[in-house]
Amino acid sequence: MDANRIEQIVEEVMKQTAQIVKGPSNEVPMTNVTEKKGTVKRIAIGADHGGFPLKEALISFLKAKNYIVKDQGTFSTDAVDYPDFAEKVARAVASEDCDRGIMIDSLGMASAMAANKVRGIRAAMCYDLTTARSSREHNNANVLTLGGKLMDITLAGEIVSLWLTTDFTGGRHWPRVNKIMAIERRRR
């Protein structure tokens, strides 16, 4: 098979994938138009009581790097329910009020589960630099969840910095991310 035919086949597959995916801008197929590289400025951040201390430290960290931070709560270490704050962070991203979101609970898993229930959200729990990079490059994650009891501010800052500055690579990952979004649209 020659290179021209391979290129034609790839274009046909990409067109078919694009026809499957419809909806608001946070749900359209990932293309070099919809994935705006280097435009992340507005960050929604939230936490439950287990993530509150790390959230407060990350707010200062993000502001020092000139991000616009929109604090979704909680505002103390008093016991609260993580789904309430994970939903607030996720909705801020899904509505495009914020470019990306960060949610911190004790371990990070539960908030990822809650945030992923919001249409258009691809939340990833990251615990090191490899998972942070992969969640952006391969999955175009738009919400990062962290475990406040699993890491200190140094590691959390490294993860957040890498996650916010890593672009989605697209390519072979476009159809895969689009399939994730298609599952969401079929969910009843």
8-state DSSP, 2: -
d(CA 144, CA 121) in angstroms, rounded, equals: 10
**CA 133 from centre of chain:** 11
SS3 of 54, please?
helix
Nearest to 25 by CA among 160, 187, 186, 181: 181
For residue 72 the two structure tokens come to 């979704």
Nearest to 80 by CA among 101, 52, 107, 41: 52
97 forms beta bridges with none
Q: Would you give the end-to-end CA distance of the chain in angstroms?
A: 42
Report CA torsion sign: 18, 34, 37, 137. Answer: negative
Q: Is 49 a catalytic residue?
A: no
Element (H, E) at 104: strand 100-105
CA 76 to chain centre: 25
Residue tagged active-site, from 42, 138, 149, 173 = 138
Q: What are the residue numbers of the active site?
A: 138
